[in-house]
Chains A and B, each alone.
Chain A
Amino acid sequence: MRDLTVHYDTPLGAVRAADRISFSLCAGERLGFAGESGSGKSTMALAILRMIQPPGRIDGGQVRLDGVDLLSLGDEEMRRVRLARIALIPQGSMNALNPVMRIRDQIMDGLTDHGVRMSRREGDERVRELLESVGLGRDVAERFPHELSGGMKQRACIAIAISLRPRVIIADEPTSALDVVVQKQVMETLARVQKELDASVILVGHDMGLMAQFVDRVGVMYAGKLVEVSPVREIFTRSLHPYTRMLIASLPSLEKKGTFSGIPGLIPLLRDLPPGCAFHPRCPEAVARCRTEEPALREVRPDGWGACHLV
């Protein structure tokens, strides 16, 4: 992705929800995007699929998949890319599934829409395989979504997402509505199917614990901008941006009491961004330069990108 920019038109003028986002995703890699709500992480993820709805619009940049710029494709061509090459596991599986359609038909829907022709019997076999690969019994095929638990629905969504063996799976807060025990099972399922397909995963979320345990690299977003991209180990041991450190500190620990602190202040309004670094009003380390000059994202050390004047 290069310099992707997404605007939302509001009565008070256009706001930039994703501002010149650039990153690369390697084959088989798990890349996480973390940030508070309103940081633009979901916007960025949906922009990859060109699923930004009005009043939002993509305003330039490139999204290249195996060398092809997705933003230059026609609508019909893009429709063929979705699910088959890049699949989405949406945030609320309860809302993503059609309540009046059996799980079997919802899985088959994507397949037939992408031109997969098969007999009823072959279809049943394929659905059974997909359900089993996400740890669901074959009987789930005949169920309606309301007959399934949250974790089962989320697995059904994973089964749909992997049905055409995509190259990239985008998981937008896939477990935010699930209990921790179920969350762990769903993430284990996702890790396993990803390995089997050798697909890449983009995990969008706010839980730094989940990031720590699941992804290879983490991108941290703030007010529509990418402020750090580093390998996960470095994010947690020697991060480049003060915001990253504060985000980690805001996670309650189970080791020690009182180790859990909020980030003072609020995320700025996108239509009223402070001058200089957008984070400076909340940053404990801000210096004069931060108030006037916006730091660019640059490679501070091998594979470590940061947008902060202090590094």
Chain B
Amino acid sequence: MTTLLEARHATRIFGGGLFDRTATLALDDFSLAIDADRPAITGVVGESGSGKTTLARVLLGLTAPTTGQILYQSQDLQTMSRQGWRRFRRDVQVIFQDPYGVYNPFYRVDHMLTTPVAKFGLATSRAKARELIDDVLRAVGLRPEETLGRFPHQLSGGQRQRIMVARALLLSPRVILADEPVSMVDASLRATILASLSTMNRDRGISIVYITHDLATAYQISDTIVVLYRGSVAEIGDVELVVKQPRHPYTQLLLSSIPLASPERTWLTAKEPVPVAAADRSDTGCKFAARCPSVAPPCREAAPPLFQTDPARAVACYLYRDAPSASGDHSEPGRSSR
């Protein structure tokens, strides 16, 4: 396969040096490859603090990895030519999580949409540009006449986020990285926005990296799921395998925590509360060991590598140590064919 965008053993540490105890390991030896030939939707799922946003920033070249590389069309983002960088910035678009911070409060929201149209010459006339903008706004469920001409503070967070989705739609890029694009949008509109991501993937061949805390929406649109736990991959593979037969104890915990919309009520348990301990930040061993119901002595000694438990899935857990190691290229186990 030809890889379009690739993370190769990317690690990002904040604060202190590599061996500083106060340092935060936000991303730990992360590898992922986006296939150019078979554009797919890759869902990256993790709780807050799992390194989702750091991953997004590293993949976008906004934060350099402390060690490891990010490659776009086999060129390292850090050493890329100016021209390559410009191409990257057009081809790889992002939808950020926070619809408040991305707007300049002094400009009308139109600015967010007309700038890319002008910069990249997407329309030949003012009327064409307006048509294009109206189209993408409607695609995300906004009424153009009620949206354009407004200032950011006059719109709700959900509306602002939808404009960001519209902006990414406008550029027809090769990769869209969506960092929690629907977490601030009403449930009734999530489907519409995620469906438009799916449509872009299917009809225009745009690869999507969908970063989210919500396993249910990730399941609905993704081909491959990456479960991130404190900066490392816990489980990666085909979406049906990961969601229907989760293997990693953390994936199992996540799935059992989601309240299902069904009248069969099995979610709440009457067990006594476990006093909340400060997060265990031990440096060695599996990061999930402190919360894991199946923890064993080896888990405390060294972090588990990814084991290839199924042809289309790998799990970083010693419960599956008999399976062959999925060394090197993490993209293989998670590779999906559609």
Residues of chain B within 8 A of A60, CB atoms compared: none
Residues of B within 8 Å of A297, CB to CB, are none
* A94 on interface, CB distance cutoff 8 Å: no
Nearest to A249 among chain B residues (CB) is B191
From B194, B216, B267, contact of A254 by CB (8 A): B216
- B172 to chain A: closest CB distance in Å? 23
Also in contact, A254 and B258, with CB within 8 A (given A37-B156, A192-B270, A232-B263): yes
CA distance A182 to B186 in the complex (A): 21
User: In the bound complex, how far is the Cα of B219 from the Cα of A37, in angstroms?
Assistant: 24
Q: Which of B84-92, B118-126, B271-279, B318-326 contacts A (4 or more CB under 8 A)?
A: B271-279
Cβ of A184 under 8 Å from chain B: yes
Residue of B nearest to A210 (CB): B259
Q: Of the candidates B48, B158, B188, which one forms a contact with A247 in the assembled complex, judged by CB atoms under 8 Å apart?
A: B188
Q: Is B254 an interface residue (CB 8 A)?
A: yes
A-B contact count (CB 8 A): 136
Whole-angstrom CA separation of A135 from B272 in the bound complex: 8
Q: A185-B273, A207-B187 are in contact. Are A212 and B217 (CB under 8 A)?
A: no
A228-261: CB near B (< 8 Å → 1, else 0) gives 0000110011000000001110111110011111
Within 8 A of B (CB), among A184-226: 184-185, 187-189, 191-192, 206-214
In the bound complex, residues from chain B placing their C-beta under 8 Å from that of A189 are: 273
- Residue A179 is within 8 A (CB to CB) of chain B in the complex: yes
Q: In the complex, what distance in Å separates the CA atom of A36 from the CA atom of B189?
A: 9
Chain A residues near B290 (CB-CB < 8 A): none
**Partner of A188 from B194, B217, B220, B268 at Cβ < 8 Å:** B268
A150 is an interface residue with CB less than 8 A from chain B: yes
Pair B276/A151 contact, Cβ less than 8 Å: yes
Looking at A155, A233, A237, A262, which has the most chain B CB atoms within 10 Å of its CB?
Answer: A262
**Residue of B whose beta carbon sits closest to that of A236:** B263
Fill in one digit per residue for B126-168: 1 if any A CB lies within 8 Å of its CB, else 0. 0000000000000001010000000000001010000000000
Secondary structure call for the B interface: loop
Please tell me if B269 contacts chain A, counting CB pairs below 8 Å: yes
| Inter-subunit contact B263/A233 (CB<8 Å) | yes
Q: Which of A37, A182, A187, A247 contacts B268 (CB 8 A)?
A: A187
Are A262 and B243 closer than 8 Å at their CB atoms? no
Query: In the docked arrangement, what's the CA distance between A50 and B274, Å?
Result: 36
Contact of B158 among A37, A259, A262 (CB under 8 A): A37
Most chain B beta-carbon neighbours within 10 Å: one of A206, A247, A254, A266: A254
Report whether A188 and B271 are in contact in the complex, using a CB–CB cutoff of 8 Å.
yes
Known contacts A189-B273, A250-B188, A254-B260; decide if A184 and B220 are in contact (CB<8 Å): no
A276 is an interface residue with CB less than 8 A from chain B: no
How close is A180's CB to chain B, nearest CB, in angstroms? Answer: 4
Cα distance A260–B186 in the bound complex, in angstroms: 14
Q: Which of A191, A233, A262 contacts B191 (CB 8 A)?
A: A262
Which residue on chain B has the smallest CB distance to residue A155? Answer: B276
Whether A96 is near chain B, meaning CB under 8 Å from some CB there, is no
Whether B170 sits at the interface, judged by CB under 8 Å, is no
**Chain A residues positioned under 8 Å from B156 (CB to CB):** 37-38
A181 with B47, Cβ < 8 A, contacts A209-B259, A252-B216, A257-B220 known:
yes
Across the interface, name the chain A residue whose C-beta is closest to B279: A149
Enumerate A119-151 residues with CB–CB distance to B below 8 Å: 134-137, 149-151
Any A CB within 8 A of the CB of B1 = no
Asked if A152 is at the interface (CB within 8 A of a chain B CB), the reply is yes
Chain A residues near B258 (CB, 8 Å)? 180, 209, 254
Chain B residues closer than 8 Å to A253, beta-carbon distance = 216, 220, 261
CA separation between A212 and B216, bound complex, in Å? 16
Interface membership of A263, Cβ < 8 A = yes
User: Which of A38, A258, A263 gathers the greatest number of chain B CB atoms within 10 Å?
Assistant: A263
Evaluate contact between A184 and B267: CB separation under 8 angstroms. yes
Residue in contact with A135 in the complex, picked from B48, B186, B243, B273, CB distance below 8 Å: B273
Chain B 274-312 interface 0/1 with A at a Cβ cutoff of 8 Å (1 = within): 111001000000000000000000000000000000000
B328 CB, min distance to chain A CBs, angstroms = 30
Q: Contact: A260 with B220, CB < 8 Å? A: yes
CA distance A5 to B225 in the complex (A): 47
B195 at the interface (CB under 8 A from A): yes
Q: Which residues of A contact B187 (CB under 8 A)?
A: 36, 206-208, 247, 250-251
Indicate whether B253 reaches chain A with its CB closer than 8 angstroms: yes
**B13 contacts partner chain A, Cβ-Cβ < 8 Å:** no
Is A183 in contact with chain B by the CB < 8 A criterion? yes
Is B262 close to A, CB under 8 A?
A: yes
Q: Do B141 and A266 touch (CB < 8 A)?
A: yes
Question: Nearest 9 CB-CB pairs, A to B?
Answer: A135-B273, A262-B191, A213-B267, A209-B259, A262-B192, A252-B216, A179-B47, A263-B188, A213-B259
Q: List 7 A-B contacts (CB under 8 A).
A: A155-B276, A207-B259, A212-B260, A213-B265, A252-B219, A257-B220, A260-B191
